[in-house]
Each structure stands twice: as structure tokens, then as C-alpha cells.
Chain A
Amino acid sequence: MKTRLDEKKGSYIRAFRAAFPYTIPVLTGYLFIGMAFGVMIQEKGYNFLWAMLMSLLIYAGSGQYLAVNFFAPGVSLWHVIFMEFMLNIRHIFYGLSLLERFSKMGKKRLYMIFSLTDETYSLFFVTKVPPDVREDQFLFAIALLDQSYWIIGSGIGALLGNVLPFSTEGIDFAMTALFVVIMTEQWMDSQNRKSVIIGLLCGLFCLIIFGADNFILPTMICIMVILLAGKRVLTEQEVNHNAG
């Protein structure tokens, strides 16, 4: 006879099995982007244990790249906090779409919030939860798998340093391709098209105006203003969609 614990374990195994295929693109991307971080941090004199510890405790792609510069004499912690806050400010808006789904996650909720990277966030909106898997376990499996790739990648990078058997130049395009695929998926649902276009145009416009290093915050503000101002148009379309 199966105990309740066995059932719980079994459903977690099912959740991880179901989640794994969805995370393979992130696996490719995170292994290599994580390796690049590992290479950078070991050049600063930190071994693979430090690299993996940072990926365990911080877990942010561009945030960790930026953080490499902070391991130098004379950098104030306030500077560190300010720079990281500005870089990651886009994350403030991510949780807005997940308030309800995360509220059903019990003890896992804090980890879900902690692990909400661009890639994990994006995956949540293209994955379909299989009928025999619980949603909370499925989302948790995606989040945990993604972070494990990141930690392993940064460890490998710090261990291998610059000695890689083949040129990996351009492999980080896997991340771009992942977002392009997710965007294409969103586009196929006609409800999302206006939002996708708003995001692309705001991004492009702000990139030209503010430059590559400072355009994310203006883009987020631009997106929010247009979405709020266009609420009537965007919801009308949805009502029609549901009715038709």
C-alpha cells in the first residue's frame, strides 16, 4: 500500500520528469553563460567553490557579471547595492504576473520569488502543466532545475578557466533564441500580439535614445504607461476574442 509520503515523492518525480524537457533550452544557455561567469570570477582569484556559492546565493545572470567588478579594494557596499538595484529593477514588474500562482505554493513560495530570473519567468508563460502533475510542483521543478544548471555551469567555468577544446564564441545566442521562441509562441496567441509589439517598439526606441547600458528602466516605464493608457483597447480586444 502506498503511504501519503510515497505519493508525494512520486508526484515530485513526475513533476521533474514533465518539467525537464521544457528547461533544456535554459540548460544550454545557463551552462554556457554560467561558465562565462565562472571564467571571469576565477580570473579575479576566486575558485570554483566561490563561483558556485555566488550562483547559489545571488542567482542573477547580468547581476553576477556586474558583481565581478565589485571584488576590488575601495568599492563601497552602497555603490554595490545601488548598481545592482538599477540593473535588476525590471524584476520589480515580473512578480505582478505571478501573485496568484505563487500564493498557492506554500513553503516553496519564497524560493519561487528568489529564483525568478528572466528565463524562469519566461518559461512560466509558455509551459503547459500536464494534467497528472500538480502546478506548484511543476513550477518548482522548473525553477530548481534552472538554478542547478546555472550553479553547475559557473563551477565548470571556474574549474576549466580559459582552456576549452573548441571555440564557443556565439553560444550565448542560445539565450536570445530562447526568448525569440517564447516571443513566437506568445505571438501565435493573437491576444498577446499588441503587447509583444509594444515591448519590442518601446525597447527599440529606448535603446536608440538611452543607449545599450541604460535603456531597460525607461523601457519598463514606457511599457507600463502605454499598457495602462491603452487598457480599454487591449481589454476590448480580449472581450471580443472571448466572445468570438
Chain B
Amino acid sequence: MPVSVGRSFAIIAAVGGTVFFTRLIPFLFFPKGKEIPPMIQYLGKVLPPAVIGMLVIYCLKSVNVLAAPFGLPELIAVAVVILLHVWKRNNLLSIGTGTVLYMFLIQAVF
């Protein structure tokens, strides 16, 4: 271990505390029983689809489209996941097929 046991616990507490705090903030601003302003209610409704769009980009942020294989494995796998999901609408089938296909593409094809 590069640092002492006590120090390790302190680091875990600092990381854990900070992460928890970021998740807690909205609940501190709008505690139970306090009326939620219409603006926040509106945001709460329209935010999730936008955040999920952002998370898709976040997952693909390291893809380099300017160098071979130009993001093709990701593009193909994402397209297959979408098409399969629109067709069969089965979470497991879409995710499983997409993941296995992606692993095959980067390990054996590209």
C-alpha cells in the first residue's frame, strides 16, 4: 500500500462523502414537504431524456473518428442495438447481441 491505513480510510471518506454530497444537493434545496416550484417540476420531467442522450455521448467520448477504424465498430454496434430494440423491444436481447457483436468486431475484425 502506497499510503497508511488511516490515510486510505481518509481518502475513501473524502471520495465517498463528495460523491454522496453531489447526489444529495437537490434534496437539500427541496426538502420533503416543501412545495417544488413549477420550473423545477418542469426540469425534472424534461431532463431525464436529455441526460440519457448525454450519457450515450459520454460512453462514446473516447472514440476517434479521424483514425482507423474511424469509430466503425461503435457505429455498427450502436446501430444494431437500436434496430434490434425497435424490432423486438427486448432489453437483454438488444444489449447482449450488441455487446457480443462489439467484442467480436474489435477483437477479430478491426
Interface residues of A (CB under 8 A from B): 21-22, 24-25, 28, 44-46, 50, 53-54, 57-60, 63-64, 67, 70-73, 75, 77, 80-81, 84-85, 88-100, 102-103, 109, 113-114, 116, 118, 121-122, 125, 167-171, 173-186, 188, 192-193, 195-200, 202-204, 207, 212, 215-216, 219-220, 223-224, 227-228, 231, 234-235
Other-chain contact of A180, B10, B13, B44, B82 (Cβ < 8 Å): B82
Contacts of A203 in B (CB 8 A): 53-54, 56-58
A99–B40 Cα distance when bound, in Å, is 10
The dominant DSSP class at the B interface is: helix
Is there an interface contact between A91 and B23, defined as CB atoms closer than 8 Å? yes
The chain A residue with its CB closest to the CB of B80 is: A177
A144 CB, min distance to chain B CBs, angstroms: 16
Q: Binary interface profile of B, 79-101, with partner A (CB < 8 Å = 1, else 0)?
A: 00110011000011011101100
Chain B stretch 1-52: residues in CB contact (< 8 A) with chain A: 1-3, 8, 10-27, 30, 32-33, 36, 39-40, 42-52
Is there an interface contact between B22 and A196, defined as CB atoms closer than 8 Å? no
Q: How many A-B residue pairs have CB under 8 A?
A: 260
Show 26 A/B contacts (Cβ-Cβ < 8 Å), sorted by A. A21-B92, A24-B92, A28-B99, A44-B1, A46-B1, A59-B19, A67-B12, A73-B3, A77-B10, A77-B14, A81-B18, A85-B21, A85-B22, A95-B26, A96-B26, A99-B36, A109-B32, A113-B27, A170-B103, A173-B99, A174-B99, A175-B59, A196-B52, A199-B51, A200-B54, A216-B54
The chain B residue with its CB closest to the CB of A168 is: B103
Is there an interface contact between B11 and A80, defined as CB atoms closer than 8 Å? yes
Contacts of B61 in A (CB 8 A): 207, 212, 215
Is there an interface contact between B95 and A192, defined as CB atoms closer than 8 Å? no
A188–B94 Cα distance when bound, in Å, is 15
Is there an interface contact between A84 and B18, defined as CB atoms closer than 8 Å? yes
A178–B39 Cα distance when bound, in Å, is 30
Asked if A181 meets B94 with Cβ closer than 8 Å, knowing A118-B55, A169-B107, A170-B107, the reply is yes
Is there an interface contact between B43 and A184, defined as CB atoms closer than 8 Å? no
A243 CB, min distance to chain B CBs, angstroms: 17
Asked if A180 meets B81 with Cβ closer than 8 Å, knowing A72-B3, A170-B107, the reply is yes
Other-chain contact of A171, B13, B57, B94, B103 (Cβ < 8 Å): B103
Contacts of A64 in B (CB 8 A): 15
B91 CB, min distance to chain A CBs, angstroms: 6
Other-chain contact of B53, A89, A95, A97, A195 (Cβ < 8 Å): A195
Contacts of A24 in B (CB 8 A): 91-92
A100–B96 Cα distance when bound, in Å, is 33
Asked if A71 meets B8 with Cβ closer than 8 Å, knowing A175-B59, A195-B47, the reply is yes
Is there an interface contact between B52 and A71, defined as CB atoms closer than 8 Å? no
B78 close to chain A: CB less than 8 A: yes
Asked if A177 meets B25 with Cβ closer than 8 Å, knowing A200-B57, A202-B50, the reply is no
Contacts of B95 in A (CB 8 A): 25, 28, 174, 177-178, 181
